[in-house]
Amino acid sequence: MILRGKDAEEDGVITVAKLMANSARTAPKTAGIDDIEIVILTGDEMKQVIKEMERMAEERGKNFLRDAKSCEKATAMVLIGVNGGNPIGLDCGACGFNCAEFKEQKRKMGKDYVGPSCAFKLIDLGIAIGSAVKTAQIHNIDNRIMFRIGTAAKRLGYASSDIVFGIPLTSTGKNPFFDRG
């Protein structure tokens, strides 16, 4: 078998997406409780997310369209989300409640996400995302953390977490996710 240029690069992107999933999964979690969800999208599913972002631009503004356009160059997307409805039990009040009060709150869907969410679950999400993009960076894979991918993927049912972010991936001479014009 001979793999040249684009084929080898695309295989590498998929391999790194899987490594990113491992990095997110093994990232430290508060009290060792793992409520992180990880999904890798390619092909038609990824194209559906891009189309949903384009549709969302009609109601939410041009930044959805801008991000959709840059994602057309992606080989894969990694979705990372968290279910924030399971408070850790520290009674820190960062969510606006103590943990007993939090558990009594009716969780509801906002414009994009379900809340309220335990602040420590949101911290866990940030650490998992940071660990994943660190892995992409180590392997020289173009990437960017995007809120809009997560909201579109959630609308399509590709992720069930309360809060979801997406990370488009590709291998190019210039990162298309930062050339946002």
Read off the pTM.
0.96
Percent share of the chain, pLDDT over 70: 99
Which are the contacts of 141, defined by CB distance < 8 A and separation ≥ 6?
Answer: 12, 13, 16, 169, 170, 171
38 vs 80: CA distance, rounded Å: 5
Task: Sketch out the chain's domains with CATH numbers.
Answer: 27-170 (3.40.109.10)
Percent share of the chain, pLDDT over 90: 93
Span 19-24, average pLDDT: 99
Span 144-161, average pLDDT: 98
Q: Name the phi and psi angles at 178, rounded to 5.
A: -110, -5
pLDDT above 80: residue 181 = no
Residues of 71-103 as b/e, b for ≥16 C-beta within 10 angstroms? beebbbbbbbbbbbbbbbeeeeeebebebeebe
pLDDT above 90: residue 161 = yes
β-bridge partners, 41: 77
Find out whether 68 and 149 touch, Cβ atoms under 8 Å: no
Q: What is the pLDDT of residues 42-86, one digit of tens each?
A: 999 999 999 999 999 999 999 999 999 999 999 999 999 999 999
Find the angle CA(37)-CA(53)-CA(34) to the nearest 5 degrees.
10
